[in-house]
């Protein structure tokens, strides 16, 4: 049986999915904007407690992983499969590093008894409870996306090692890359909203 593959429409399909992801996070961003507007002082105090150094570090990790992802696709298109696998491995490594840093951050917050519904958090001002609720929900959902991205990219790496993805057929790698870059863009907005704007 002959299979027909259409490069452009597979990319458009991926973009449609990414746009629906933007709308999903868009809803949470609206919630953040509305609650911040209603509780400016509480949001200010809560945001000052987040670790800005870890947040910045994670931003740099994710930006760099986007670079290695783009380089991985480019080197495959140029015909250098080994280099491409190496770049893809770096991307996966940086994705895992992001999750490790994130888990350190969450663990230290939970050690200070700040997590949804914790007695200590419930004793604080309403706006701070909302801020931490949004913090856990939005960075949690984003972290889940990073985890899915790491799994998808690992599958791509296996397919590349087996030669199923190659210079003549790179659409799956390109589409996974698009997803990875979108996850990066979402973090680019989450970072200032939670760590910088105080």
Partner 1 sequence: MDTGEGKFHLVKYRTYILIWMGLVILTGITVSLAGMNLRHLSVFIPLLIAALKSGLVLGYFMHLKFERGLLFKLMIPIVLTILTIFIGLTFSDVAFR
Residues forming the site for partner 1 (CB under 8 A): 7-8, 12, 15-16, 19, 22-23, 26, 29-30, 33-34, 37-38, 52, 56, 59-60, 63-64, 66-67, 69-71, 74-75, 77-78, 167-171, 177-178, 181-182, 184-185, 188-189, 191-193, 195-198
Q: Which of 56, 52, 32, 54 is nearest to 131 (CA)?
A: 32
Q: How far is the CB of 93 from partner 1 (least distance, A)?
A: 16
Question: 3-state DSSP helix/strand/coil percent for the chain, to nearest 5?
Answer: 85, 0, 15
Per-position DSSP letters for 137-188, written without gaps between them: HHHHHHHHHHHHHHHHHHHHHHHHHTTSSBTTB-HHHHHHHHHHHHHHHHHH
Q: Decide if 130 contacts 123 (C-beta within 8 A).
A: no
Residue with tokens 């080197």: 75
C-beta of 1 vs 23, nearer to partner 1: 23
C-beta of 120 vs 126, nearer to partner 1: 126
Distance, first Cα to last Cα, the chain: 60
C-beta of 29 vs 93, nearer to partner 1: 29
Q: How far is the CB of 143 from partner 1 (least distance, A)?
A: 19
Q: How far is the CB of 120 from partner 1 (least distance, A)?
A: 26
C-beta of 74 vs 103, nearer to partner 1: 74
Residue with tokens 């990875």: 180
Q: How far is the CB of 186 from partner 1 (least distance, A)?
A: 9
């Amino acid at each position: 049986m002959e299979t027909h593959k259409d490069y452009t429409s597979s990319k458009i399909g991926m973009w449609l999915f990414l746009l629906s992801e933007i709308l999903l996070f868009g809803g949470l961003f609206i919630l953040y904007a509305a609650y911040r507007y209603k509780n400016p002082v509480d949001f200010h105090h809560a945001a000052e407690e987040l670790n800005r150094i870890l947040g910045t570090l994670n931003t740099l990790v994710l930006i760099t992983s986007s670079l290695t992802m783009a380089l991985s696709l480019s080197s495959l298109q140029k015909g250098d499969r080994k280099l491409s696998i190496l770049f893809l491995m770096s991307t996966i490594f940086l994705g895992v590093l992001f999750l490790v840093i994130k888990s350190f951050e969450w663990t230290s917050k939970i050690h200070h008894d700040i997590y949804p519904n914790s007695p200590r958090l419930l004793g604080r001002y309403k706006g701070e409870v909302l801020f931490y609720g949004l913090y856990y929900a939005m960075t949690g959902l984003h972290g889940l996306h990073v985890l899915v991205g790491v799994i998808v990219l690992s599958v791509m790496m296996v397919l590349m090692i087996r030669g199923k993805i190659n210079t003549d057929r790179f659409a799956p790698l390109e589409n996974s890359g698009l997803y990875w870059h979108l996850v990066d863009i979402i973090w680019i907005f989450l970072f200032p909203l939670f760590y910088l704007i105080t």
